[in-house]
Structure 1
């Protein structure tokens, strides 16, 4: 009989640690972009935790349900030493991760993830999405093409990955190539007001949402109408009064 109590046996617990890290939402956000060496090291640490949880779980089954445990062992046609326990660690890692995903609110995990590991863009987008007053969440977003949107973030994809955001525009325009002065040319107030007054708020998300890839965004900042008007007045061309010489 093949002795499975060998270094090959470490593959299953290590795999269980990796499965937990990529299945549990909180750890998956962070481990989606870290270095391979760091991912392996964290998988080993997590595998150690899963190992002790599985060992405790196995003892409880043996103590209270010995016949059920023996029947589970018979399901495995391969008679390799410690293989059943290695498979148990895989099952425990998946069950534990799904249980935590169900118990812990995804919104809470997203908030903590952005706060701990998110970049400045992600923090700004998340804050815009969760402002109580829409005017407090308005952002000015400039894309690579020079197109500019003024609106609030309605939805963001998973943080720390190839992120996309969905914004509901209030205004849009462009920046001049040389001076980068902002010109707002399109206004969506009437359309938004129409949907709200007619009880069709869901159409705002379905028909007004604009999806922007994060890597196509050049800059993003908070939008203040008061500050924008001050700059607009300041940048208006001034007429020179010509005095006639008498």
Structure 2
């Protein structure tokens, strides 16, 4: 096979790595050199597979292969085989993504290559547990995570706030000023919406503005607050 035709299966390998859910969310965290190296490996596997399929078709339907070659505008040897390898990569990726769930592979990517922040966001999303976000302006949100963070792609996190407030000047106590849950409950009770998600009260926080994030247990928070006056 002419060396210049190898660029096509390499493009196919790159397409699979960056678009197919199996690899996509892992590759977003890895460095560019490794992406190129793995694209080469996958491209080689792709062209070898396509070549084996070609051999099979030549043995089973030699007349059909001759007809295809006679109508093909590509006269260079193996040009059509190389082009088909890209088509196979695109077809496989589209079909697999259509019948697969991206959240499954996002979770796996977070487990494999995610950092502590992403792991905590994943836990909150899966368990529907509250987190406490403290921003660099001392604003505080008690909230649920609405979307799984994609490793190293988005600098933001989408949350559904339950309570918001701020840290007082001494930084030890928190003053909660807005309680969203009672508002959510009233809308649901009145039949305006069925679910909290329908209210579109999402907040998008810039990760760079978050100074701390932790699990929030209302009962534990209450016990700590009760201790503050005695101290």
TM > 0.5: yes
Candidates 158, 166, 175, aligned match of 1:166? 158
Where does residue 141 of structure 2 map in the other structure?
149
Q: Deviations over 1:6-42 (max 9, x none)?
A: 4322212221111110111131111123222111111
The two structures, once aligned, show a CA RMSD in angstroms of 2.5
What is the TM-score with the length of structure 2 in the denominator?
Answer: 0.86
Q: How does 1:82-97 map to 2 (within 5 A)?
A: 82-97=78-93
Look at both structures and tell me which one has the larger radius of gyration over its CA atoms: 1
Where does residue 201 of structure 2 map in the other structure?
208
C-alpha spacing 1:43/1:218, structure 2 compared with 1 (3 Å):
same
**Structure 1 residue 98 and structure 2 residue 94: aligned?**
yes
Mean Cα deviation higher: 34-43 or 103-112: 103-112
Give how far 1:66 is off. 5.0
Unpaired stretches in structure 1, ≥5 consecutive residues:
239-246
Where does residue 24 of structure 1 map in the other structure?
20
Question: Secondary structure in 1 aligned to 2:153?
Answer: coil
Give how far 1:74 is off. 5.4
Give how far 1:99 is off. 2.4
C-alpha spacing 1:209/1:86, structure 2 compared with 1 (3 Å):
same
C-alpha spacing 1:55/1:138, structure 2 compared with 1 (3 Å):
same
Give how far 1:70 is off. 4.8
Once residues 68 and 218 of structure 2 are traced to their aligned partners in structure 1, the CA distance between those partners, rounded to angstroms, is 66
**Structure 1 residue 179 and structure 2 residue 171: aligned?**
yes
- Number of aligned residue pairs: give it: 230
Q: How does 1:166-245 map to 2 (within 5 A)?
A: 166-176=158-168, 179=171, 181-199=173-191, 200-202=193-195, 204-236=197-229
Once residues 205 and 67 of structure 2 are traced to their aligned partners in structure 1, the CA distance between those partners, rounded to angstroms, is 53
